[in-house]
Amino acid sequence: MAKIIDGKAIAAKIRTEITEGVAALKERGVTPGLAVVLVGDDPASRVYVSMKEKACAEAGIFSDEYKLPAETSEAELLGLVAKLNNDPAIHGILVQLPLPPQIDTDKVLEAISPEKDADGFHPYNVGRLSVGKPLFQPCTPYGVMVMLKEEGVELAGKEVVVIGRSNIVGKPVAMMCLAQSATVTVCHSKTRNLADVVRRADVVIAAVGRPEMVKGDWIKEGAVVIDVGVNRVGEKKLVGDVDFAAASQRAAAITPVPGGVGPMTITMLLYNTLESAKRFAEQLNS
């Protein structure tokens, strides 16, 4: 039976370190600040934003929230981003996705200052990640890497299979694993013989958004399974991209859903905001 990787416990440990870092920075006269922009009234986004607010408050981070109507124009949103870019009290900017159809998401993400890009989605930060010199790393894949490190999973020389090629998780986590000297295969909807590819993996990272798509007999004995997926089945049940019950019979360690990767995402957002504020403090003192 696999060891359960407790994302809540790992996140709690990291958040304690963040809270201590925030307190130390406040003693130097700088309070880390995160601006969260929500356009429209998407229920899932609203819940996520409220969780971020609560997490900021617990860590001592100043949180500034902007709730804009769904009919907000692209120009209005870009104007707000420009204002936040120039606000010295704000060290991290997060524009909650998805955005309404009248707004070009890429244009908005590119308008955020790379030095305040707490989500790590700006092309500049993606480019730095790709050459192994990251400034900000996307929060969910960054959380995955922290979990692996905390669990003592050594990636060098291991075969890692990433299922999913999104810009938010799949591609960045593949680059992060490459930076740790893993041999990485990225799979997607056009991958042939997916089950056979997954069976080779020492580490499986599933981020495809299809409930329990990865079957238990796809998992090599002793592999580590990181399930990034969160899928609602029926009214209340949440499941991952991996058949947890079957996979946990073969894996050495596995993340549950919920309670696995999820708590790490907001934790790494707070971490990125703190790191940005530290750089701001250094610039003030230089």
User: Which pLDDT band holds residue 284 (cuts at 50, 70, 90)?
Assistant: confident
**Predicted local distance difference test score (pLDDT) of residue 91:** 98
Closest by alpha carbon to 30, among 268, 283, 269, 267? Answer: 283
Catalytic, 119? Answer yes
**Predicted local distance difference test score (pLDDT) of residue 107:** 97
Residue 226 near residue 202 (C-beta atoms within 8 A): no
In angstroms, rounded to a whole number, what is the distance separating the alpha carbons of residues 206 and 208? 6
In angstroms, rounded to a whole number, what is the distance separating the alpha carbons of residues 150 and 268? 14
State the catalytic residue, choosing from 116, 117, 119, 137.
119
User: Which pLDDT band holds residue 46 (cuts at 50, 70, 90)?
Assistant: confident
Question: What are the structure tokens assigned to 205, written together?
Answer: 């990272």
If you ran DSSP here, which 8-state letter would residue 241 be given?
S
Neighbours of 23 (CB within 10 A): 11
In angstroms, rounded to a whole number, what is the distance separating the alpha carbons of residues 54 and 1? 35
Question: What are the structure tokens assigned to 265, written together?
Answer: 């995402």
Q: What is the pLDDT of residues 1-16, one digit of tens each?
A: 899 999 999 999 999 9
Question: Which phi-psi region, left, alpha or beta, contains residue 115 (left: φ > 0; alpha: ψ -120 to 50)?
Answer: alpha
User: Which pLDDT band holds residue 198 (cuts at 50, 70, 90)?
Assistant: very high
State the catalytic residue, choosing from 52, 116, 158, 278.
52
Q: What is the pLDDT of residues 69-97, one digit of tens each?
A: 999 999 999 999 999 999 999 999 999 99
**Predicted local distance difference test score (pLDDT) of residue 236:** 77
- Report the percentage of the chain scoring pLDDT > 70: 100
State the average pLDDT for the chain. Answer: 96
State yes or no: pLDDT of 118 exceeds 90. Answer: yes
Question: What are the structure tokens assigned to 13, written together?
Answer: 């440990």
Which class does domain 139-262 fall in? alpha beta
Architecture of the domain delimited by 31-114: 3-Layer(aba) Sandwich (3.40)
Which residues fall within 8 angstroms of residue 234, CB to CB, at 6 or more apart? none
Closest by alpha carbon to 267, among 122, 126, 115, 146? Answer: 146
Closest by alpha carbon to 107, among 78, 135, 69, 127? Answer: 78
Q: What is the pLDDT of residues 229-258, one digit of tens each?
A: 999 888 778 999 999 999 999 999 999 999
Among 103-107, 204-208, 228-232, which is the least confidently predicted range? 228-232
Domain coordinates in residue numbering, the chain? 31-114, 139-262
In angstroms, rounded to a whole number, what is the distance separating the alpha carbons of residues 246 and 186? 23
**Residues facing residue 34 across a β-bridge:** 63, 92
**Predicted local distance difference test score (pLDDT) of residue 44:** 83
State the catalytic residue, choosing from 96, 117, 171, 202.
96
Tokens 């990181």 belong to residue: 226
Residue 224 near residue 254 (C-beta atoms within 8 A): yes
